[in-house]
């Protein structure tokens, strides 16, 4: 899970991209980066480890000029958490440059990388994303969208891409539609983002989703779209609505908040809690589900667990030790609400169980008589 963002046709493209990345920070906290292309086709890149707020100095942003920019926030699923794996990737090639920001996982990346290395390719990172850059560089098609389509032929897995080929911006989504990607208008320009909340922050108007298997190209000649061979079935990642996305976003055409509330109401029907005196969420991604559980069950909803918002998301910490350490300082129970009561704790999911066990112990230590743990998935 990563966040990607792109702008075409706005003089402040890099500044808008930085704003967009703030809205996508929840999708990756390990590194952030921006590539910008100016009016004469010069591409510049700024990448740094850490949060968006930590990564871009004012002088760097002043240097990222031009009407084209793409950006990335990273949660590593392939490749180490290191600066050489920060994105966007910027490669200088014979006839210009290729910049790429990728959200997803390539399931055949090892095989594709081996083929490229056997053909003389040299890799500078351990990311699966770099495979796509090499394949685009080797593509023989003339039009940018056709080059990307040629590069993606034979690539398997989940991907949403923002690519810059010279002055052309290309957005692509895998034929299964695993991850979300939307496009919007901002004046005469275009904006792409992993979630609609990133369109909102820059004042763009949502046009539509990039369709599964669609490749959209925008340059001085206008907008063009081509379609990759269709998959047998569309597979949308349920975790986008359960956990990954912000509740103020629309993902796969639906409101994330409404989906989570509906899941919470269904959870109350399937897993009632007779005798419980209050419901609370494991904030923040479970807030809507806990409200839905309360609405359906009639059990009062309370803010009984407080999150320290200066601590990042524990799920996207790259190591278990990091996740455990973050849990200890991330949450604090409100003893006055919990003491002596039977309570329902609603969480969005149980992936490893380590966070949940620690939270139950924390709530019991605050005086709760009984903790009924509920999970959406």
**The pLDDT value given to residue 321:** 61
The answer, yes or no, to whether residue 101 has pLDDT greater than 80, is yes
Separation in Å, CA 337 to CA 82, 131, 280, 285, 366: 43, 53, 10, 21, 9
Q: Distance between CA 209 and CA 231 in Å, rounded?
A: 17
Q: Are 28 and 50 in contact (CB under 8 A)?
A: no
Report the CATH architecture of 3-237.
Answer: 4-Layer Sandwich (3.60)
pLDDT at 320: 58
For the stretch 255-282, pLDDT in tens is: 999 999 999 999 999 999 999 999 999 9
Closest CA to 51 of 31, 71, 74, 26: 31
Q: How confident is the model at residue 355 (pLDDT cuts 50, 70, 90)?
A: confident
**pLDDT recorded at residue 207:** 98
CATH number given to 254-375: 3.40.50.2020
Cα-based distances in Å from 101 to 183, 285, 346: 15, 25, 34
pLDDT digits (tens, 9 = 90+) for 46-78: 999 999 999 898 889 999 999 999 999 998 776
d(CA 272, CA 276): 9
The residues spanned by each domain of the chain are 3-237, 254-375
Q: What pLDDT, in 10s, does the model give residues 113-145? A: 999 999 999 998 989 999 999 999 999 999 999
- Give the residue-averaged pLDDT of 166-193: 97
The reply to whether domains 3-237 and 254-375 share a CATH topology is no
> CB under 8 Å, gap of 24 or more: what pairs does 119-128 form?
124/84, 125/79, 125/84, 125/85, 125/89, 126/78, 126/79, 126/80, 126/84, 126/85, 127/78, 127/79, 127/85, 127/87, 127/89, 127/102, 128/78, 128/79, 128/102, 128/157
Catalytic annotation, residues: 2
For residue 317, pLDDT beyond 80: no
The DSSP call for residue 66 is: B
Tokens 């706005």 belong to 10
| Residue 119, both tokens | 């053909």
pTM for the full model? 0.92
pLDDT for res 79? 66
Distances (CA, A) of 377 to 34, 104, 235, 243, 348: 35, 21, 17, 10, 7
Contact criterion met (CB below 8 Å) for 253 and 234? no
Distance CA 228, CA 220 (A): 23
In this structure, what token pair is assigned to residue 234? 């569309």
> Per-residue pLDDT tens for 199-210?
999 999 999 999
For 348, residues 6+ apart whose C-beta sits below 8 A from its C-beta are: 242, 243, 260, 282, 285, 286, 289, 375, 376, 377
């Amino acid at each position: 899970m990563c966040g990607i963002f792109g702008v075409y046709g706005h003089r402040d493209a890099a500044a808008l991209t930085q704003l967009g990345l703030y809205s996508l920070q929840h999708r990756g906290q390990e590194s952030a980066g921006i590539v910008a292309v100016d009016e004469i086709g010069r591409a510049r890149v700024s990448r740094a480890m850490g949060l968006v707020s930590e990564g871009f100095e004012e002088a760097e942003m002043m240097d990222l000029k031009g009407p084209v920019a793409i950006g990335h926030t990273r949660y590593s699923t392939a490749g180490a958490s290191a600066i050489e794996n920060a994105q966007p990737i910027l490669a200088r090639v014979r006839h210009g440059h290729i910049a790429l920001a990728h959200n997803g996982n390539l399931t055949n990346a090892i095989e594709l990388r081996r083929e490229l290395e056997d053909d003389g390719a040299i890799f500078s990172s351990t990311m699966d994303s770099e495979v796509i850059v090499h394949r685009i560089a080797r593509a023989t098609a003339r039009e940018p969208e056709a080059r990307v389509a040629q590069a993606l032929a034979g690539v398997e897995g989940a991907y949403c891409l923002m690519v810059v080929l010279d002055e052309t911006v290309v957005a692509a989504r895998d034929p299964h539609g695993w991850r979300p990607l939307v496009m919007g208008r901002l004046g005469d320009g275009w904006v792409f983002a992993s979630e609609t909340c990133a369109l909102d922050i820059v004042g763009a108007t949502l046009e539509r989703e990039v369709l599964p298997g669609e490749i959209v190209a925008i340059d001085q000649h206008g907008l063009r779209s081509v379609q990759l061979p269709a998959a047998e079935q569309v597979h949308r990642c349920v975790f986008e609505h359960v956990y990954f996305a912000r509740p103020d976003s629309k993902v796969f055409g639906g409101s994330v908040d409404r989906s989570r509330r509906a899941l919470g109401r269904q959870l109350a029907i399937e897993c009632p809690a007779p005798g419980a005196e209050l419901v609370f969420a494991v904030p923040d991604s479970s807030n809507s589900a806990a409200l839905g559980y309360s609405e359906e069950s009639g059990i009062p909803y309370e803010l009984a667990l407080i999150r320290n918002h200066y601590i990042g998301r524990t799920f996207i910490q790259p190591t278990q030790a990091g996740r455990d350490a973050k849990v200890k300082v991330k949450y604090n129970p409100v003893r006055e609400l919990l003491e002596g009561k039977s309570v329902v704790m609603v969480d969005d999911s149980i992936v490893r169980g380590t966070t949940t066990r620690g939270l139950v112990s924390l709530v019991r230590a605050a005086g709760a008589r009984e903790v009924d743990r509920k999970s959406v998935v």
